[in-house]
Amino acid sequence: MNSQASAPGKAILFGEHAVVYGVPAIAIPLSSIRARAYCKDTAHPLTVIAEDLPRPAVTIGAENFDRSDPLALTAALTMEHLNAWNLAGEIRIRSDIPIASGLGSGAAVSAALGRAIARMHNSDIPDCELSKIVFEVEKLHHGTPSGIDNTVVVHEKPVYFVKDEAIEFIRIVEPLHIILADTGIASLTRDAVADVRSLYEREPAHTAKQFDEIGAIANDARVCIETGAIARLGELMTANHHLLRSLYVSSAELDKLVDAALIGGALGAKMSGGGRGGNVIALVNDRSANCVKDALIKAGTKVLLETIAG
């Protein structure tokens, strides 16, 4: 049976990095950029082909999979969950989510692959189970993931997330007009997360205070999202960016894009995701959108995406 499955990218609106330490964070799915998995009933044993990824093809059987490879681990954990070791066929992965840019590419590829394997087995995998599988795979990418990426990507809903607590989905009352601008610099979340860990170990009291401030911003932001206080939400985004700078996860390129967006009239702007490279998100209104895009382009970026959340 030929079939397909997919999962979206994501953007963290508030709380990245601090979320690893138990502080709340807010993320939204980016449904217009997706990882897709196309299944064909052909070869035996199950082969996963992902030409755009560092390791473009893996073959998975009961004994021969490599637990250090994200595709193989996703496939093996899904097959284990379904008790379906004898699956045969080919799954081809295509993704339009940029890699290593804070937009959840790894989580989306895993989620799409897990769903595709379940379809090949003529079953479905519940989102909460798939999210657990993607979380295990995220450990390969991130070392100590908080769980926010797998949660938002698998459930494809705006989420208020606190590590190890029940997931809370949030309702966006007033649509959020968001522009994403790409520094074009690939950066590994794992490295940024490790550097924040070293900072925390060197300066625990000061760093914990910064995490708490980020958490307070995320809590305020939730209220703004749920009441439609968009102007205040923008201010909170910019304040969150300054705190991320003080954790040393921003970069000159990210700061330049944040400044350009604000000068262009954005209500707020910040880096999003692991940082160092990747993307800036800017909150705009319909009046300021074109000026902000022009300002970002003049600052040397391409606008990756313009989206309305909610």
Footprint of ligand MEV (CB under 6 A): 12, 16-17, 19-20, 102, 142, 145-146, 148-149, 189, 193, 273-274
Q: Give least dist CB 107 to ligand MEV, A.
A: 8
Considering beta carbons, is residue 52 or 191 the nearer one to ligand MEV? 191
Considering beta carbons, is residue 145 or 158 the nearer one to ligand MEV? 145
Q: Which residue is nearest to ligand MEV (CB)?
A: 146
* DSSP 8-state secondary structure symbol assigned to residue 163: T
CA distances from 266 to 30, 35, 307 (A): 20, 29, 14
Considering beta carbons, is residue 10 or 177 the nearer one to ligand MEV? 10
CA distances from 51 to 70, 72, 138 (A): 14, 15, 20
The CA distance from 96 to 98, in Å, is 6
DSSP string, 250-303: --HHHHHHHHHHHHTT-SEEEEESS-SSSEEEEEE-TTTHHHHHHHHHHTT-EE
* DSSP 8-state secondary structure symbol assigned to residue 103: S
Q: Give least dist CB 18 to ligand MEV, A.
A: 8
Considering beta carbons, is residue 47 or 272 the nearer one to ligand MEV? 272
Q: Of 96, 124, 149, 259, which residue is the catalytic one?
A: 149
Q: Give least dist CB 172 to ligand MEV, A.
A: 20
The CA distance from 11 to 237, in Å, is 13
Considering beta carbons, is residue 73 or 148 the nearer one to ligand MEV? 148
State the burial class of residue 233 (Cβ atoms within 10 Å of its Cβ: 0-12, 13-18, 19+). buried
Q: Is 149 a catalytic residue?
A: yes
Q: Give least dist CB 114 to ligand MEV, A.
A: 19
Helical packing angle, 289-298 and 252-263, nearest 10°:
140
Q: Give least dist CB 144 to ligand MEV, A.
A: 7
Number of C-beta neighbours around residue 103 at 10 A: 28
Which strand ranges, in their side-by-side order, compose the sheet holding 176-182?
A: 268-272, 279-284, 176-182, 302-309
Question: Known catalytic residues?
Answer: 149
